Amino acid sequence: MNGAEIKTIFFKDDGVIPGNPNLPVILYLGSLKDEPEETEAIFNRNGWLNSWTNGVFDYHHYHSNAHEVLGVIRGSAVLQLGGEHGQKFELTAGDVAVLPAGTGHKRCSASKDFRVVGAYPDGMDYNLCTGKPGERPKVLEDIARVPLPNTDPLYGAAGPLMSAWKPQQQTGNHT
């Protein structure tokens, strides 16, 4: 897990996809490039559970009641994070994205062999929101109530997530 490039990006509420006003997305680029097949075990060992292996939906969606980690284990994909006005990122095997509750995500394109592992802090259950009229204000209340995780999904109690997601975090590069 050495040599990873770590990026933190804030996404603003676009009126449809709420984002998270206090927590940035964290990208660990290349963090598991030497061991993508170990992704699920690493997440689980660090308390990110309720894991699954599949792809990413090809429409904007988010979870208002749980944070999510996505680790690419095979292939590559272009994901748009932050809703319709967000940013696109190409992720390849070994890349990991930690999405705070409320962060929109969508698969724009992918290689045929693309597979990702997803997991949630302490195995939290997650919902599926798409920005439909009527979801607010409940989803905004849900997002505000999601507890901070106890561990970073890759590095445990001392990982970069723990400092980037400090309580009352209010600064960052807002997109």
Average pLDDT of the segment spanning 35-54: 97
- Residues 6 or more apart in contact with residue 100 via CB below 8 angstroms: 20, 22, 23, 24, 25, 67, 146, 165
pTM of the model: 0.93
Check if the beta carbon of residue 32 is closer than 8 Å to that of residue 60: no
Instruction: Give the Cα separation of 136 and 140 in Å (integer).
Output: 6
Residue 10: pLDDT band (50, 70, 90) is very high
What is the 8-class DSSP label of residue 145? H
| 6 and 154 Cβ atoms separated by less than 8 Å | no
Q: What is the mean pLDDT of residues 126-134?
A: 94
pLDDT score for 168: 54
Could you give all domains of the chain from N- to C-terminal order, each with its CATH number? 5-152 (2.60.120.10)
Confidence of residue 173 (pLDDT cuts 50, 70, 90): very low
CA distance 27 to 114: 18
On average, the pLDDT of the chain sits at: 93
| Residue bearing tokens 């940035």 | 24
